[in-house]
Structure 1
Amino acid sequence: MGTAVLSPGMAALILFGLFFLFLFLRVPVAFALGLACLPILVIEPRLSAMTLVQETFNAYNSFILLAVPFFLLTANLMNVGGITDRLMRLSRSMVGHFPGGLAQINVVLSIFFAGISGSSTADAASQSKIFIEAQRKEGYDDSFSVAITAVSAVLAVIIPPSILMIVWGGVLTVSIGALFLAGIIPGLLIGLAQMATVHAYAKARGYPTYPRSTWREFLCASWVSIPALMTPAIIIGGKIFGWFTATESACIAVLYAGALSLVVYREMDFKGLQYALLDTGKLAGAALFCVGTASAFGWLLAYYQIPKAILEGVSAWGMGLTVTGFFIAFVFLVVGCFLDAIPAIIIVGSILQPLAKAVSMDPVHFAMIGIVSLAFGLVTPPYGLCLMIACSVAGIRIGDALKDTMIMLVPMLMVLALVIIWPDVSLILPSLISPEFLR
């Protein structure tokens, strides 16, 4: 590094300064990351602008990342193939009689959908179209409807199979099977916290409740939903028991969802298939473009040893395991407000990984703290992509839904604190089922 023209401090100033400047100018995140790299690549004699292309391509040259478009396609096939409708019927038979019945169904359907799609943006888009207008007709406040739809959508990145888990495992070399297992309990706890929040709102505001379903209605709804509910079992079980890799499980999920939509439920036509493929291409293109430019950005951080320089100061604080966990969560919570979760994993996750190792934090525990923290960024401005989607469908301003959204995040923060303080919340399932995945 003695031959480098720029010092680590100067390189960091240019990279982060330009990146946040471009964000302020409303340049898309993926482009902002790439453009921030260019001046350094031009200034540094040993590098060139082609380095940006090379490192971006290197990021795409990953078998694991092929799982991203396949999981997105699975979610879209289930939407157009009538599978989501069956799961909604099952959700209604389970929790429709709870206070705030339709909002409770919203949360439970998000839990089911999370076990299939792995994408919060896909969840937010589909759930917003299903629930916001329906809740409006039943007398729910728009701000509440938008808030619960956006907040429940974040479960898709916590409950496996999660696209963030796949990216984290591929970039930071952590067992994806262990991450899938680790996300189950925190995800379900957050889902229960959201249902409790809906209960409190419904009691306070008098939101309507559906009549209790009979056992016959519940069993009928369960019977028609069994094929759909087998999807997460196939994906997670196959990965855990070593039958196939994460990418292969995503491909099998696509074939299974396609078979359900075409053969079992028979609700997908050629036009629906065309829509599913087109929407998948748009979402996957945006997500993977972020992966490429974020990898180039992260490569420059490593080239100038910027993470080492940053952590030298932080390590001197002498934090223990729990305090380090809260520090990591704080960093990801702040970064998630401004940056998409995928580039945040590649850049910030790589920076904080040595800090977690220094206090002997289990890599899976570190991953769950990071992933759960980044989930908040999907509903917190100025980024808040899920909140933006829900507000767009509802036709209201983000500011109108912000108060209820922030209230709903409080019990979720309590679950995050539990994950940090008590590592077994996320580690107990991997340690019981596949202990060889840990460390």
Structure 2
Amino acid sequence: MNTIAHSLGAAPAAPESGQGSAKSRRLQLAHVADRVFASAVEALAAALIVAEICILFAGVVSRYFLHSPLVWTDEAASILFLWLASLGAVVAFRRGEHMRMTALVAKAAPHQQAFLDTIAVAAALAFLMFILGPAYEYAAEEAYITTPALELSNAWRAAALPVGLALMCVMGIIRLMRVGNWRLVGSAVATVATICAAFCLVGPVLRELGNINLLIFFVGVTAATVLIGVPIAVAFGLATFGFLSLTTSMPVMVLVGRMDEGMSHLILLSVPLFVFLGLLIEMTGMARAMVAFLASLLGHVRGGLSYVLLGAMYLVSGISGSKVADMAAVAPVLFPEMKERGAKPGDLIALLSATGAQTETIPPSLVLITIGSVTGVSIAALFTGGLLPGVVLGTALCFVVWLRYRNEDLSKVRKASRSEIWRAFRFALPALALPFVIRAAVVEGVATATEVSTLGIAYALLVGLLLHRDAKWSRLFPMLVETAALSGAILLIIGTATGMAWSLTQSGFSTSLAQAMAALPGGAPMFLAVSIVAFIILGSVLEGIPAIVLFGPLLFPIARAMGVHEVHYAMVVVLSMGVGLFAPPFGVGYYAACAIGKVKPEEGVRPIIGYVLALLTGLAIVAAVPWISTGLL
């Protein structure tokens, strides 16, 4: 996923020379510093996740069951959440897990890859240093605000940003030290410094260019940095920082404020909690139990295990909200048996990727949560509206499976007996019930979309303790760290993308975009068609969440003005991005599926064509029939 882990790996053996010994000592020092630094930050981030779960769960129990609301829980959760987001971003930066596009970098020669990977670290370090000072100023300004319930200075919350940025700077320096090749590091740092200096020198000229700067920074700088493998969050941040500091009189502290706004929206707290729930479901064996039950029902029919894969991804997506966690839970259970029945690895990966796109709207999808946070659309309505579109796309995929496996040889496959099916059902029942428990808790008002994840976590822990006694509880801490890293990576993107979206709005771009979209011939159908094409492209390059944060606030008001229901438009947009995300050659989700299935990417390119055509057909049906998205509301 990220080649920088290889270029910054273990230090080479030290030569006998004094220079070699000095180099070895530097590498050893960097390694020790990295290990100590990582242990402290990871432990704190894991503790914050546990604290958030306990606070929100206590709020639900106190309000709904004890009828004595705790007025301070949301406020405490909000304060800790910004710290969790900041420290999670540090963990992700240390582990090289911030989202980045590596399709072009992977095709470069090894020495070029090492240079581009070092450039990515140096560019990230430059951005962090640029906004560290404004972040400190922002935290100091927040000291004059007092929180209403806890009566604390808001600086306690806002300080998470400068502290997190400073820790990421330290981590960036350690990563550069661990490269071990000072010539490589020097050339990368010099390249980044030269480019930054060049922009500063032409600053007076840029101020005279007006809105052309939108193309220079938000298209040129963003595209260039993303394509060479700079983390997407850093690419957004550099473009926005450059635009504000070089072409406007706006203080850069505004960018920090918009980052705070984007990263600390309380509804986004459900992101790390649902990610952890998905990992917990996999660890306790609940996901495996669901798959085993479906296999007992359909394993004896032609293409049966492919149908099981489709159904399992639908059910697991309704629990975890993380597509990588979904695929990692389902694929290892089914792939071995499917290969024994003669399925080709490339076809398995193609189907796995297609189901990833199919289930993007299944609640509690992280993309749906993000849409709700940035556009104001009801999360409960999005969760309800996402069920049927997934069924439509799943039906289209089932048709392709039927075509491909209608002549499968099942002479050696035994049909499960009724007693075996009943036994598998009883074992899987607690897992099968969880998606319905989550949805019922939101619909009935037991918990909010943020709080409901804590009920799912408590449910999964209880089921794991009582029914799945072989669960590896020693994995809890690594799971918490993994949750913090993934959440930090997502939330930093949301933060910098919020800053970019605000800059685009202030520049008048949103007004121009609205006028252009409204002037399209054909009205709402043409608007939907253009949106589908645009978000397929955006999904393949930026992935779903950054694309939504950037363009959701701009396009959803236009959709409402043109008479398109906001939930219907959300389903069309999410499914379009899913197709782009999981389709080669640029879709990051496709390569994640290949990594999980341990299959070379080129093996799945031809088989996935049929599945992509089925997805596009299903997407067209969803776009043409609004009732599919809104009928259950």
Does TM, scored on the shorter chain, surpass 0.5? Answer: yes
| 1:409 matched to 2:605 | no
> Which amino acid in the other structure matches residue 387 of structure 2?
I
Contact 2:222 2:236 in 1 (8 A): yes
Deviation at 1:372, TM superposition (A): 1.2
- Render the CA deviation track for 1:73-113: whole Å, top value 9, x for unaligned: 11100111011111011110222122123322221111110
Q: Does 1:272 align with 2:461?
A: no
Number of the residue aligned with 2:298:
95
- The answer to whether residue 381 in structure 2 is matched with residue 199 in structure 1 is no
Partner residue, 1:418: 621
Question: Post-superposition shift, 1:367?
Answer: 0.8
Q: Is the 8 A contact 1:388 1:398 kept in 2?
A: yes
> How far off is 1:208 after superposition?
8.1
Tell me the equivalent position of 1:72.
275
Name the counterpart of 2:415: 212
2:516 corresponds in structure 1 to: 313
Is the Cα contact below 8 Å between 1:298 and 1:347 reproduced in 2? yes
- Give the alignment of 1:248-287 within 5 angstroms: 248-287=451-490
Cα distance in 2 for residues equivalent to 1:372 and 1:209: 38
1:139 aligns with 2:342: yes
Q: Is the 8 A contact 1:99 1:198 kept in 2?
A: no
Q: C-alpha distance in 1, partners of 2:274/2:220?
A: 35
User: Aligned partners of 2:224 and 2:523: how far apart in 1?
Assistant: 35
CA RMSD of aligned residues (A): 2.1
Written as runs of structure 1 = structure 2, the 5 A alignment for 1:332-343 is: 332-343=535-546
Counterpart Cα distance in 2 of 1:207 and 1:103: 14
Tell me how far 1:312 sits from its aligned partner.
1.9
Larger Rg: 2
Whole-Å separation in 2 of the counterparts to 1:250 and 1:198 = 34
- Against the structure 1 CA distance between its residues 419 and 50, is the aligned structure 2 distance closer, same or farther, given a 3 Å change threshold? same
| Residues 191-200 or 163-172, more deviating | 191-200
Kept in 1: contact 2:535–2:577 (CA 8 A): yes
Contact 2:386 2:571 in 1 (8 A): yes
Residue 281 of structure 1: how far off its partner (Å): 2.1
Higher mean C-alpha deviation, range 205-214 or range 277-286: 205-214
Q: CA deviation at 1:64?
A: 0.2
Runs of 4+ residues over 4 Å off in structure 1: 204-209
Q: Which residue of 2 aligns with 1:436?
A: none
Q: Specify which of 566, 575, 578 is matched with residue 363 of structure 1.
A: 566
Q: CA deviation at 1:357?
A: 2.0
Q: Is the 2:303–2:405 Cα contact (8 Å) retained in structure 1? A: yes
Which structure 1 residue ranges, 5 or more long, are not aligned?
431-439
Question: For the residues of structure 1 that align with 2:384 and 2:621, how far apart are their CA atoms?
Answer: 17
Tell me how far apart the structure 2 counterparts of residues 164 and 373 of structure 1 sit (CA, whole Å). 12
For 1:73, the aligned partner's letter is: F
Aligned-partner SS, 2:265: coil
Paired residue for 2:46?
A: none
- One of 419, 431, 442 as aligned partner of 1:228: 431
Q: Is 1:190–2:358 an aligned residue pair?
A: no
Matched, 1:108 2:322: no
Please tell me whether the aligned partners of residues 41 and 48 of structure 1 are also in contact (alpha carbons under 8 angstroms): yes
Instruction: Quote the Cα distance in structure 1 between the aligned partners of 2:266 and 2:410.
Output: 48
Which residue number corresponds to residue 502 of structure 2? 299
Give SS of 1:337's match. helix
Report the alpha carbon displacement of residue 388 of structure 1 after superposing the two structures with TM: 0.7
Letter in 1 for 2:422: L
Query: 270-279 vs 131-140, which deviates more?
Result: 131-140
CA deviations over 1:151-203 (Å, ceiling 9, x no partner): 21234421112111111011100011111111111112222222222222113
Q: Which amino acid aligns with 1:188?
A: V
Q: Give the gaps of 5 or more residues in structure 2.
A: 1-206
Q: Which residue of 1 aligns with 2:355?
A: 152
Q: Tell me, in whole angstroms, the C-alpha distance in 1 between the residues paired with 2:437 and 2:409.
A: 40
DSSP 3-state at the match of 2:477: helix
| Partner of residue 110, structure 2 | none
Assess, with a 3 A threshold, how the Cα gap between structure 1 residues 320 and 397 changes in structure 2: closer, same or farther: same
Figure out how many residues of one structure are paired with residues of the other and give that number: 427
Task: Write the deviation string for residues 26-55 of structure 1: whole angstroms up to 9, x where unpaired.
Answer: 222222111221211211443233333221
Deviation at 1:5, TM superposition (A): 6.4
1:241 aligns with 2:444: yes
Aligned partner (choices 361, 383, 400) of residue 603 of structure 2:
400
Pairing partner for 1:49 from 252, 255, 262: 252
CA distance in 1, matches of 2:308, 2:365: 21
The residue type equivalent to 2:274 in the other structure is F
Look up the equivalent residue of 2:497 and give its one-letter code: A
Higher relative contact order (CA 8 A, sep 6+): 1
Distance 2:520 2:248 in 1: 36
Counterpart of 1:15 in structure 2 is: 218
State percent identity of aligned pairs.
27
Do the aligned partners of 1:260 and 1:266 also contact (CA within 8 Å) in 2? no
* 1:120 counterpart residue number: 323
Q: For the structure 1 residues 130 and 281, does the alpha-carbon distance in structure 2 shift closer, same or farther, using more than 3 Å as the test?
A: farther
Distance in 2 separating the partners of 1:214 and 1:192: 27
Question: Paired residue for 1:37, among 233, 240, 244?
Answer: 240
Aligned counterpart, 1:434: none
Residues 298-322 of structure 1: CA deviation (Å, up to 9, x unaligned) = 1111111212112322322233222
Structure 1 130/35 Cα, relative in aligned 2: closer, same or farther at 3 Å?
farther
1:139 partner letter: G
Structure 2 match to 1:390:
593
After the TM superposition, which of the residue ranges 245-254 and 135-144 deviates more from structure 2? 135-144
Measured against aligned partners, the alpha-carbon deviations of 1:205-232 in whole angstroms (never above 9, x if no partner) come to: 6588843323332222222212112211
- Relative to structure 1, the CA distance from residue 387 to residue 258 in structure 2 (aligned partners, 3 Å threshold; closer, same or farther) is same
CA contact (8 A) 1:124 1:390 kept: yes
1:329 aligns with 2:329: no
Distance 1:417 1:177 in 2: 24
C-alpha spacing 1:318/1:209, structure 2 compared with 1 (3 Å): farther
User: Residues 291 and 330 of structure 2 are in contact (CA less than 8 Å); yes or no, is this contact kept in structure 1?
Assistant: no
- Contact 1:116-1:232 at 8 Å conserved across structures: yes
Whole-angstrom CA distance in 2 between matches of 1:381 and 1:21:
20
